[in-house]
Structure 1
């Protein structure tokens, strides 16, 4: 019982230290194989039309990921219908092939800047859609899934 209480206090302290976190969700990739047609969607309800925020995309991968970078197509649909589409490239490994990101095991997590210092000026639901656009040399159409992608996440933090 005493260890449970210590764990609960520790968890509460960690949560209370992260007061700028507004949204943080992950979606698991089935069998760690992200198909190009598998769009990951997050719906974020916004009521704060004044504060600046940073938006991050998180990618968790393991050693089965075959590339040193990842290409993503990220879309935001605003409550009133405006759509913003970005094509993004992020490095996943350094020039020596060492995985970037955090983690002590074979699983690495990369917290990638998507939008910096942005103000969501409309109240309502914002739809964030993420799909990969990474292709192998012999896979121009993207028919082969990306192996080694475990989770895709989205987090939004208030800028201090």
Structure 2
């Protein structure tokens, strides 16, 4: 119960800081067991395709997570379902030498926000879907509690 309350407090803190966010969503991973077949999808609306966007992975893991990194495959599709991009990314959750966790922690829960795409310009306004699949050798992957994305308007460059 303490972990759950701590997680809610941390989520409230993290979500309050995203003033440029046009979309932010998490999917909880049942019992912290992320099966390869479980590939959460996030559908969002882009109204203005003339401005660049930053897209982030959002991830929550427990300190019991057994690796320092996490491989994810992402798939970006347009509203017709056409795949615009697929890519394998490595997220570093802990320092590989010291084991010190990265991210914002409260108790044994850690939240991470990793840049996925910087200054990305969507080809046109409309709905887009980002699907994320874990790409580790363990199935299920243990102690990943939630995964999500944030889409933000990029800050103007000077």
Structure-2-length-normalised TM-score? 0.83
Contact 1:78 1:122 in 2 (8 A): no
Instruction: Flag structure 2 segments of 5+ consecutive residues without an equivalent.
Output: 1-11
Task: Give the structure 2 partner of residue 103 of structure 1.
Answer: 105
The match for 2:38 is 38
Task: Check the 8 A contact 1:72/1:132 in 2, yes or no.
Answer: yes
Alignment match, 1:78 = 78
Q: How far is 1:19 from its partner? A: 3.0
Q: Which has the larger radius of gyration?
A: 1
Equivalent position SS for 1:103:
strand
Residue 27 of structure 1: aligned partner: 27
- Answer yes or no: is 1:132 the counterpart of 2:134: yes
* 4+ residue segments displaced more than 4 Å: none
Instruction: Please give the alpha-carbon distance, in whole angstroms, between the structure 2 residues aligned to 1:68 and 1:30.
Output: 21
Aligned equivalents of 1:18, 1:90: Cα separation in 2: 21
Task: Deviation per CA, 1:65-98: give whole Å up to 9, x if none.
Answer: 1111000000000235242001001111102111
**Aligned 8 A contact 2:75 2:83 in 1:** no
TM-score by length of 1: 0.82
Q: Which residue of 1 aligns with 2:9?
A: none
Question: What residue number does 2:152 align with?
Answer: 157
* Aligned twin of 1:90: 91
Query: CA deviation digits over 1:85-128, x for unaligned, max 9?
Result: 01001111102111110122100011011111101122211010
Name the CA distance, whole Å, in 2 between partners of 1:34 and 1:92.
Answer: 16
Post-superposition CA distance 1:2-61 (Å, at most 9, x none)? xxxxxxxxx9xx85x743111111000000100011001000111111111100001100
